[in-house]
Amino acid sequence: MNRISKIFFSLAAFLLSLPAWAQQRFPKPEFETGYVQPATSQAPPRALFLEYLDVFMLAAVLIVATWFVVKKRSRRGVLWTSVFALLYFGFYRQGCICSIGAIQNVTLALFDPTYVLPFTALLFFVIPLVVTLFYGRTFCAAVCPLGAIQDLVAFRPIELPRWLQKILGVVPYLYLALAVLYAATSSEFLICRYDPFVGIFRFDAEFQMLLLGGLFLLVGIFVARPYCRFFCPYGVLLGWMSTFSKKHMSITPSNCIQCKLCANSCPFGAIEKPVEEQGNRRSNVQRLMTYLFFIPLWIGIGGLAGSMMHVPLAKFNSTVYLAEQLVENPELKQDQEHIDARAFMQSGKSMDQLVTEAKEIRSQFYWGGWLVGGFIGLVIGLTLLKLSSHRNRYDYEPDKTNCLSCGRCMDYCPVKK
């Protein structure tokens, strides 16, 4: 052993016996040469007014998009607006913060008493929903950068079978419910973690996430906007608003002449064809009543299934996971390689405290599981109900829930005002 390491180790042995943080072991020297100590630099974060500029841009682009869709009926206008939104919210703002992720901020504000919600996040959450309640999903048409990037690569859209669309259409509800559950239990922000495009916007991400983003874009060439239709949790909320919106765009500017020209123009399968009620009205109503009757059953089954899943669901909470690990393998507490166990031992928290905390979180997941499951049961029940009910429809109309107001179909309509 050389001299230096000897000094080092004897020093270390002595010093390590002291609480590490409370010491200035070596006093600051008094310099004689007039040495001036440099300042520790503190680069400021992005200025606050820029954050509000983002909100302003959101509102402005939303107004422009809505004008192009509802008033001007110009697909071209929508397209260029979406390109701008992609550049601004996507590549310049690097996809953060976005309205989709803001769901979690709002949830956290409702459930975590210590969390303070930035006003900008609340606005990002609320503004598109309000506009959608009036004019349909113009936000999806040209403002959301995630939608825009997918829209631009939808070169060869194929039509998916209806039943597949319906089944996959349940996924966003599940995603929304889970995202809310994990945010409400302060576990994590699922939507942000698995945002497939944010890595592309930043030109930087873990390899798996870039892969996922690339995959979505690749699939998106054939299945138009796969994230929007089969994953996006905000799309669920927008869909609700849009279904009951006041002035949703229509395919034709005046009256549909049943020319069928627009029938296949929607890459998202969101055009409803004319249908006539089939069969006997009475038996139809009876069938609907049966489906309605089954909905509470669906909710019950879903809730039960959800609550039974609470143990695996809670594993994704780091406190619960650590507690489980340490209870199952107590020897891990001594394992210096196990970073979380070591940090826990250093924290001075007792095992009992950790277990109590974990139990509490688990019980939150138990009740959350009921809610999530019940919600999904309700969604399934309603989907079935909707599938079996046809009201008469005489014209080609956008399905207001799923129509993204992209405006493609308008160009196919030969009727001019």
Stretch that binds another protein, among 211-219, 281-289, 335-343, 351-359 (CB under 8 A): 335-343
> What does the alpha-carbon distance between residue 336 and residue 331 come to, in Å, rounded to a whole number?
11
CA distance readout (Å), 189 to 56, 144, 147, 166, 290: 25, 19, 20, 27, 39
User: Does the protein bind another protein through residue 48 (CB under 8 A)?
Assistant: yes
SS3 145: helix
Which residue in the set 147, 157, 377, 381 belongs to the binding site for ligand SF4 (CB under 6 A)?
147
User: Does the protein bind ligand SF4 through residue 405 (CB under 6 A)?
Assistant: yes
User: Does the protein bind ligand SF4 through residue 144 (CB under 6 A)?
Assistant: yes
Task: Report the C-alpha dihedral over residues 162, 167, 170, 174, rounded to 10 degrees.
Answer: -160
> What does the alpha-carbon distance between residue 225 and residue 155 come to, in Å, rounded to a whole number?
11
204 binds, among another protein, ligand SF4, none (CB under 5 to 8 A by kind): another protein
Amino acid (1-letter code) at residue 240: W
Q: Are residues 103 and 233 in contact, defined by beta-carbon separation less than 8 angstroms?
A: yes
**Which x/- pattern, by CB under 6 A, does the window 250-269 give for ligand SF4?**
---------------xx-x-
- Maximum CA extent, the chain: 102
> What does the alpha-carbon distance between residue 281 and residue 275 come to, in Å, rounded to a whole number?
14
372 binds, among another protein, ligand SF4, none (CB under 5 to 8 A by kind): none
271 binds, among another protein, ligand SF4, none (CB under 5 to 8 A by kind): ligand SF4
User: Does the protein bind ligand SF4 through residue 404 (CB under 6 A)?
Assistant: yes
Q: How far is the CB of 143 from ligand SF4 (least distance, A)?
A: 8
Q: Are residues 159 and 269 in contact, defined by beta-carbon separation less than 8 angstroms?
A: yes
User: Does the protein bind another protein through residue 105 (CB under 8 A)?
Assistant: yes
Stretch that binds another protein, among 38-46, 66-74, 157-165, 329-337 (CB under 8 A): 38-46
> What does the alpha-carbon distance between residue 100 and residue 237 come to, in Å, rounded to a whole number?
10
User: Does the protein bind another protein through residue 342 (CB under 8 A)?
Assistant: yes
User: Does the protein bind ligand SF4 through residue 157 (CB under 6 A)?
Assistant: no
Stretch that binds ligand SF4, among 142-150, 291-299, 300-308, 360-368 (CB under 6 A): 142-150
- In the numeric block, the tokens 């909707």 are attached to 386
Task: Report which secondary-structure segment, H or E, holds 398.
Answer: strand 397-398
User: Does the protein bind another protein through residue 99 (CB under 8 A)?
Assistant: no
Interface with ligand SF4 (CB under 6 A): 100, 140, 144, 146-147, 227-228, 232, 234-235, 238, 265-266, 268, 270-271, 398, 403-409
